[in-house]
Structure 1
Amino acid sequence: MHYFDHCASTPPKKEVIRAMAEVMERHYANPSSLHRAGLEAAKLLARARAVIAEAFATEADEWTFTSGGTESNSMAILGAARHYKGRGRHLITTRMEHASVYEAFRALEAEGFQVTYLPANGEGRIEPEQVEAALTDDTILVSVMHVNNETGAVQPIEAIGKMLRGRRQTLFHVDGVQSAGKLPIRLRDWGIDLFSASAHKIGGPRGCGLLYAKEGTSLAPLLTGGGQEAGRRPGTENVPAIVATAKAFRLALEEQPERIRSMSALREQLVGVIAEMPQLRPNGGKAVQDEQGRIVMAPHIVHFSYPGMKPEVVIHMLEERGFLVSTQSACSSKSSKPSRVLEAMGLPHAIASSGIRVSFGDEHDVHAVASLGQALRDTVAALSHLERKEGRNETT
């Protein structure tokens, strides 16, 4: 079976599995305990935090370990809005955000905050000028994802961060779950105050995430309890998963330049196959880089629609041929509603309700993508024959 759903979750790397297993077996003490075993676990925790900080050119005490990307996003958005509500009650985000971000803003609206949701252009991106035009004297938080988890569109985070740099009352949060470890990120240079990441998107363990909070940034905690994680996230730390997470990020960053090159070629290859089939409609930009050499589409994601066809039909037919792909994000894949992301791009219902996502991993090469392309051709041919037989219109 060929697994092309790496945006949902990645197979853990062997080095990561070994690191996690070793810590589970040898260092099971609570890192808050004062005895020797507890101190050894605490040292592992501190070392893992230092590895993450070095990887992102930040300070160790700016990082909090969480249970995953959803908690990191919730901590950043809910925590910042509630702590700084005395400064203002206006927030800005986009209509394309992951559910963990979008629903956090919906919850804040119920608490009396005003939220501006920015739409995207036809390629799934916003412009810094949209953010600037939406700012008010009461804006305390702007949250924009780096890489869209459905289409792979890359937002102009650097430009937005530089534009916000002079507004001391406005924090900038970036959901980096689909970009951390995969694309270059410079938190300080880009003026990012809060940044969310997740381990299982880069060959790390499930159930472990990261939240960067720039020095001096305060957050209202979501949980009550002990003083772990500098009081931001009480509860006994998952030391084995945290050590494995640090290992996964170190490996991902070492391999990042080559991965970008190789996956860009695979993406171009699959986009070309899709373009050959008039029944399919690619979503997002075609090229990974724009004319200035900036990365505008994630190299590991290809998204397309089959208007008039339910996406689960395509997914199951590809699975029968040995290929696993997905629709929308994993968190929304069981929903029958049209994609909120594609609707935010102004796409019609037939396209927004028939999206398919393919996401690459390190095990893929030109031969694997060629096999997927052939399976996709066979699937479309079978479905087109069925549609002709039933007299259906492909675009209805």
Structure 2
Amino acid sequence: MKILVIGYVWPEPASSAAGYRMLALLETFRRQNWQVTFASPAEKSIHRANLPALGIDEVNIALNCSSFDEYISALQPDLVMFDRFMMEEQFGWRVERHCPHAVRLLDTEDLSCLRHARHQASKASEHVELDVKPELLFSEHAKREIAAILRCDLTLMISKAEIELLERVFKIDPALLFYSPFMQPTISASQQQDLPPFKLREHFVVIGNFRHAPNWDAVLWLRQTIWPLIRARLPEAELHIYGAYPPPKATQLHNPKQGFLIKGWANDVNQVMQKARINLAPLRFGAGLKGKLVDALACGTPSITTSVGAEGMAEHDSWPQPVEDTAEHFAERAVALYTEPNQWLECQQLGFELHNRCFNFNTHSEALIQRLIQLETELDSHRLSNFTGAMLRHHSMKSTQYMAQWIEAKNRK
């Protein structure tokens, strides 16, 4: 099978969870000996993955340019995966015109309209925002994202909580959605034993790309409220904050006297996480699954997070580590977990079990391949059952097409 992935950005596995999840999807395709090409209109960064070394072709493509039509007509992929709905908006009509029989796959990374709605709600409240009002959820952003889901043959969803929301609130046909969480190697018993024990670990850690709004908000909440409460109880403890692309407003928060240390880029997330005793993820809004929590599970580092952070991370809301939504309770649980080795060890062991049960690479990659093969063989009947999607492609793709062609003509002048 010939696969074309149209990326919103070039994958940076050391910068974001979205980056290493994309690599896991690409590896899933490559394990089938499928021919995989990754194309993106974004500028290549110095932190991007070396895709050619993984047997994946790289192609630069342009927005609003007919050169893509020539490229995809020659390539004739069997499956095209759009990385986030914006890429489907830009290139979906071109794919349909030149490769009408190619499977159209959308990878949302997270349900961004939910993240945006929670972000808007958080601006009017200092509380953790899990449920949002319909007037915030049913936004222009949501209309675009849901339309892209309906236009595609299948959408990969990282969170079962978001699948449930799409089916219940937006009435999306379950046949259009597929659960595809983070996919990681199993942590063996010997690997667990080799990790640093409680007594050899110290300090707290926070990890998250500073360009991601929920992460920056979490840093501010820590700085203004949570960390002073922890520091008052643990005056020798430090908070080490790592993340890609720290802006000046973040580095200005660096304060060694208060143990609040902005470390910036982490060359090796696992190494950083394994040295820490506790991982903090005080997320007041957001969506999807939290890569920082999955990393912590694999490194045997217990986490404290909020209900937003824990959402979708385990079956039936059974996240086995502390979840607190107020600064006072969050700090209290952080101190307790930091100072009680038996509680820490129990959280660690439950974390290993959850990691191996819920994020097993082989389990999820095999299920995805089976679904894609089935979809390819049943594509005509599958599309016939999605009249709404066909209608949206007929109308909205025309408007997108004309806008793109107008921009292209304007750029020639």
Structure of greater relative contact order (alpha carbons < 8 Å, 6+ residues apart): 1
TM normalised by structure 2 equals: 0.31
TM normalised by structure 1 equals: 0.32
